[in-house]
């Protein structure tokens, strides 16, 4: 994950929710390399495969990355301390590559995301916290599969849980509070995907701040 100083293109923007629901968020203070204020762009890159499990199958992507904005500031709510919102901040949308559904080629794309990361606990004045949170407003994730019986496509949305480890600057996301919608041509997915079915995602992302030695981000 690469972070650089960013000037927002719009004020009052909302964005990336990577950890618990806003109702469960807690007050926190976010600093970047000791700076208690300012917005920083962040690029997170998966350390391994990203796996999206749906009904009777799974979509596995060899690599994934996303850009976000980290708000260094004291938050009275803990909501939206990190945001994924390309339309507001001019960052690149989340990218996935090398994806397959079983043995069949697949593509995963995200259009106009507006995701928020909310802090839900584990944050102290120390520098070795494992901070918990939620990624909310997760939407606009589109999967297209080229199957043996035709093409199949569906969307996935909902929320995820996660942790941010300050010592390693690693962000782990996981959770099953996702739902499949807008399924087209289910035969192309061999009947393994159903509208309204549950889905889950698991991935680990490494993070860093451009030109700055880790650890860069602290949440207290």
The Cα 129–Cα 170 span in angstroms is 11
| DSSP structure string for 167-184 | TTTEEEEEEEEEEEEEEE
Please state, in angstroms and as integers, the Cα–Cα distance from residue 194 to each residue in 16, 140, 165, following that order: 27, 17, 35
pLDDT, tens digit (0-9, with 9 covering 90-100), for 14-49: 333 333 333 479 999 999 988 889 888 888 999 999
pTM comes to: 0.85
Q: Is the pLDDT of residue 10 over 70?
A: no
CB atoms within 10 A of CB 76: 9
Residue that wins the pLDDT comparison between 187 and 205? 205
Check residue 20 and give its pLDDT: 35
Check residue 8 and give its pLDDT: 32
The Cα 110–Cα 191 span in angstroms is 24
Check residue 210 and give its pLDDT: 65
Q: Is the pLDDT of residue 1 over 80?
A: no
Q: Which residues neighbour 30 within 8 Å (Cβ) at sequence distance 6 or greater?
A: 70, 71, 72, 73, 75, 81, 217, 218, 219
Q: Is the pLDDT of residue 206 over 50?
A: yes
Tokens of 92: 């690149």
Check residue 48 and give its pLDDT: 94
């Amino acid at each position: 994950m690469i972070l650089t100083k960013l000037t927002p293109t719009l004020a009052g923007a909302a964005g990336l929710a990577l950890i618990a629901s806003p109702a469960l968020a807690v007050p926190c203070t976010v600093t970047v390399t000791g700076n208690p204020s300012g917005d920083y762009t962040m690029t997170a890159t998966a350390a391994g495969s990203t796996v999206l499990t749906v009904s009777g199958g799974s979509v596995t992507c060899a690599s994934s990355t996303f850009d976000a904005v980290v708000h260094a500031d004291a938050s009275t709510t803990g909501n939206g301390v990190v945001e994924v919102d390309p339309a507001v901040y001019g960052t690149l949308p989340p990218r996935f590559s090398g994806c397959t559904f079983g043995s069949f080629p697949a593509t995963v794309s995200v259009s106009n995301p507006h995701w928020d990361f909310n802090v839900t606990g584990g944050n102290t004045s120390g520098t070795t916290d494992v901070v918990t949170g939620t990624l909310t407003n997760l939407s606009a994730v589109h999967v297209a599969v080229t199957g043996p019986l035709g093409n199949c496509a569906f969307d996935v949305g909902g929320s995820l849980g996660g942790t941010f480890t300050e010592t390693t600057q690693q962000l782990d996301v996981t959770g099953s509070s996702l739902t499949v919608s807008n399924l087209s041509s289910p035969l192309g997915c061999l009947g393994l995907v159903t509208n309204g079915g549950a889905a889950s995602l698991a991935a680990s992302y490494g993070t860093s701040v451009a030109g700055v030695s880790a650890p860069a981000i602290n949440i207290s």
